[in-house]
Amino acid sequence: MKAAVLREVGKPLTIEDVQISKPGPHEVLVKTAAAGVCHSDLHFQTGDYFYPMPAVLGHESAGVVEAVGSEVRYVEKGDHVITCLSVFCGHCDYCLTGRPMLCAKEGLRRTPDEAPRLSQDGEPMNQFLDLSSYAEQMLVHENAVVKVTKDMPLDRAALVGCGVTTGIGAVQRTAAVPAGATVAVIGCGGVGLSAIQGARLAGASRIIAVDMVDAKLELAKAFGATDGVNGSDGNSVANIQEMTGGGVEYSFEAIGLKATAEQAFAMLCPGGTATIIGMIPLGQTVEVPGVDFLAEKTLQGSVMGGASFRVEMPRYVDLYLQGRLNLDDMVSKRIPLDQVNQAFKDMEKGEVARSVILFD
């Protein structure tokens, strides 16, 4: 099969022929239909985060089941599925206390004495985040997929596999934003736009989008933002404090930068909560004034929206099919696999909400 391989940090992905194994007892073989190009993949290509190489990247995807292992009962051949990097074991302390997104991943991967899921010319190829969806097929543990209705377009379903669940979940599950609250979202890419939609669905009274690209601020209004602030002048915190009379109750950082994480905390009113969704580069620290904790301000993180994905993802699919969740406008470009490096460049320039790779 064709796959996009990361061989060296800072270098373009290469399209190569990669071999994929047959499903083990608890594994599912999926024909990839679509894969979103997420900023998280870019973090590993640029070296902000490290992953063993060579590796087939990609983690936001949807497809059709081609084959299942002997013990799989949840899906069968022909089912449409969304994949999720939050593969869960179901028996570790995190899973058993309702936090499967933090799963210890016991028994979910092949052992060193087993044949690798991915290989090339007899040598193992690393599987990125238990998925590797920049490929024509995926071989994953059965607990890495969620079955969805065949009425759901798979290019839109792919977005639910990471960005949508991460953004909406951060608002509704991690922060538990109540109706009537004031919200600011920094960064209007796929995750940020999803957070904006999450705030709209939660009934927030004011949703302020922050970005450095005016076109993305306009796009944010189509997803539910009531206001837009261009942060290029460095005054976004002061502007939001003036607009709200002292700051917002909830802020969300969806870029992954030290500076914007600190801004998210600074724009809070007393008692407010800042949730960091973006992946801040390794080695960097976020600094906030200690005195602000005396005003009961909270700084917290969120991974995969704190979601139990087999519960949440079908709900997001239903919201889309009901016309209450906008995924259509989130897809900026539909591209073939060999344009993945251009998609990375577009993302770095802030020119797209999401590029989606389509497979035949």
Residue among 38, 84, 103, 188 flagged as catalytic: 38
d(CA 181, CA 219) in angstroms, rounded, equals: 22
The helix or strand, by DSSP H or E, that contains position 328, with its residue range, turns out to be none
d(CA 279, CA 256) in angstroms, rounded, equals: 4
Residue in the block written with tokens 């209007």: 188
d(CA 252, CA 333) in angstroms, rounded, equals: 25
Give catalytic status of residue 26 as yes or no.
no
Q: With both helix axes pointing from N to C terminus, report the angle between 340-348 and 39-46 in degrees, rounded to the nearest 10.
A: 100
42 closest CA partner among 359, 360, 355: 355
Q: With both helix axes pointing from N to C terminus, report the angle between 236-244 and 258-266 in degrees, rounded to the nearest 10.
A: 20
Residue among 84, 95, 103, 162 flagged as catalytic: 162
The answer to whether residues 355 and 333 touch, using CB atoms and an 8 Å cutoff, is yes
291 closest CA partner among 274, 266, 257: 266
Residue among 39, 40, 103, 236 flagged as catalytic: 40
Torsion of Cα atoms, 148 then 331 then 341 then 83, to 10°: -10
Give catalytic status of residue 39 as yes or no.
no
Give catalytic status of residue 188 as yes or no.
no
d(CA 59, CA 128) in angstroms, rounded, equals: 7
Residue among 26, 39, 43, 80 flagged as catalytic: 43
d(CA 54, CA 142) in angstroms, rounded, equals: 24
d(CA 172, CA 176) in angstroms, rounded, equals: 4
Residue 87 tokens, joined: 């593969």
Give catalytic status of residue 80 as yes or no.
no
d(CA 297, CA 304) in angstroms, rounded, equals: 23
**Helix H segments across 97-164?**
154-159
Q: How many helices, marked H, and strands, marked E, lie in the chain?
A: 10, 20
Give catalytic status of residue 86 as yes or no.
no
> Distances in Å between the alpha carbon of 135 and those of 5, 142, 161?
9, 18, 16
Residue among 26, 59, 80, 141 flagged as catalytic: 59
Q: Which residues are catalytic?
A: 38, 40, 43, 59, 162
